[in-house]
Structures are given as C-alpha cells and as structure tokens.
C-alpha cells in the first residue's frame, strides 16, 4: 500500500490538498508541520517545506526517516525553459538536476555531486506514467515530461535561462525539486516532481509570477490529488 509524501515549498502549493485531507493529524518536526491523513482514499503526509534546497532536503529526510513514506511527490510552480511549455501547463519530471551545483573546476559536469553515481536523479517510472495519465485526463494536451533544473535562484533573466538550458537541457526551473530528488534517491524512495508553469523564467517572470502563481499551483494540486486517487485504487 502506498504511503505518499506530498511536499510543496509554499502554503499556496499545499493549502488545497490540506483542506481535503480526512482524519488529519499534525506533527511538528523542527520548523515544519507534517499533516498525516487520507487524501482521495490514499494514505498521505502533506508538508510545506519552505523555499529552497536546504528546506526541501530537511523535509524529505524527515518524511523518509520518521514517517516511513514509500513514495514522494513534489507539487508546485516553476519557470518554463521550453517554448512548448506555456503558463499553467504541467511538467512531469523524468529526472532532476541542480543547476547551481558547480564543481566544474575539478572536472565534474554542472550538476554532478561528487561521490554520487548519477548527475540527474531519475524519477520513478510508474509514478511519472500515472502522473502523466491523470494530468492529461484533467487538461488534454497541456502536459509534458522532461528534466527539472533546481537551484537557489529565482530565474528572471534570459541570460541565466539560456545558461541553465545549455548546462542541463531541462524543461523547467524551480528551487526544491532536485534536492527532494537527491534525498529520495539516496534513501531509495520513489519520487516524481509535478510542476505547473507560473512564468517563463526570463525578463517577464517578475510580472507573470504573481499573476499566475495561484492558478498554476491549483492546477498542480489537482494533478497531485488525482495521482493520490489513482495510487489508492491500485
């Protein structure tokens, strides 16, 4: 039986899901509140981790060590790195990489964490297939699969966007996914990142982000809920 950890960086990314949680119990660990219960028939633990890779890593390790989750979903918004991914479209991760992990001067490729055997952390095949199916059922033609590039930076210039694309070949950029992916990977817990596009990660991002954040976050939460339902039906 699946026990699904659901992580969002900000309250706007998890509020809808928390409002639908049945038999909710709350446990505080450090700065984070973990909401256990049932969502669409699936046993889940929902948590807002805070922005950035450090928060995301702390949270994911607690989910693995203290809550015994056997699958993890990261839901939230992202900047698009692919002209085919429009505002409010959904990107399902194939894998995730840290675009600001740079040990290139010692001969490593951008993103490679010395000591680990992969440069990009692969998402679970089954979770991403199911996520794609449910997302397409909600809004046909508005879902893509691809790589997620993560860093402790809000990307809002064409120059930085171009550099991240050249370094990583990712389709979207955000601030937590690859940290969640790395912790899940080393704990051998299957994961997938679901992100809806709030902006184009270029000079228009500062204006678009506040305009589309809520709608994009709601789209992604709907896909996460549908995924939980699908996992419960298995």
Q: Report the catalytic residues.
A: 13, 199
Q: Does residue number 196 form part of the binding site for ligand ADE (CB under 6 A)?
A: no
Q: How far is the CB of 178 from ligand ADE (least distance, A)?
A: 12
Q: Does residue number 96 form part of the binding site for ligand ADE (CB under 6 A)?
A: no
Q: Does residue number 178 form part of the binding site for ligand ADE (CB under 6 A)?
A: no
Q: Does residue number 134 form part of the binding site for ligand ADE (CB under 6 A)?
A: no
Q: Does residue number 13 form part of the binding site for ligand ADE (CB under 6 A)?
A: no
Distance in angstroms (rounded) separating the CA atoms of residues 6 and 45: 6
Distance in angstroms (rounded) separating the CA atoms of residues 182 and 130: 21
Closest-by-Cβ residue to ligand ADE is 79
- Torsions phi, psi for 161 (to 5 deg): -60, -45
Contacts of residue 156, defined as CB under 8 A and 6 or more positions apart, other chains included, come to: 79, 199, 201, 202, 203, 205, 206
Q: Does residue number 174 form part of the binding site for ligand ADE (CB under 6 A)?
A: yes
CB neighbours of residue 234 within 10 Å: 9
Nearest to 88 by CA among 178, 188, 222: 222
Nearest to ligand ADE of 148, 231 (CB atom): 148
Residues within the interface to ligand ADE (CB under 6 A): 77-79, 154-156, 173-175, 198-199, 201, 205, 209
């Amino acid at each position: 039986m699946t026990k699904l950890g659901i992580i969002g960086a900000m309250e706007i990314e998890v509020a809808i899901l928390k409002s639908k949680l049945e038999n909710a119990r709350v446990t505080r660990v450090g700065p984070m509140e973990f909401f256990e219960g049932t969502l669409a028939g699936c046993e889940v633990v929902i948590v807002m981790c805070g922005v950035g890779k450090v928060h995301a890593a702390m949270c994911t390790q607690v989910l693995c060590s203290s809550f015994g989750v056997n699958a993890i979903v990261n839901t939230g918004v992202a900047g698009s790195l692919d002209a085919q991914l429009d505002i409010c479209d959904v990107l399902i991760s194939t894998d995730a990489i840290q675009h600001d992990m740079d040990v290139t001067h010692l001969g490593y490729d951008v993103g490679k964490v010395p000591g680990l055997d992969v440069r990009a952390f692969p998402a679970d095949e089954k979770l991403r297939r199911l996520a794609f199916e449910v997302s397409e059922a909600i809004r046909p033609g508005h879902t893509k699969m691809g790589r997620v590039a993560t860093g402790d930076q809000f990307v809002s210039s064409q120059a930085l966007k171009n550099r991240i694309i050249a370094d990583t070949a990712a389709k979207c950029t955000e601030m937590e996914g690859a940290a969640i992916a790395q912790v899940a990977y080393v704990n051998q817990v299957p994961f997938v990142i679901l992100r809806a596009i709030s902006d184009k990660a270029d000079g228009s991002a500062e204006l678009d982000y506040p305009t589309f954040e809520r709608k994009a976050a709601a789209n992604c939460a709907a896909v996460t809920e549908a995924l939980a339902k699908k996992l419960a039906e298995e």
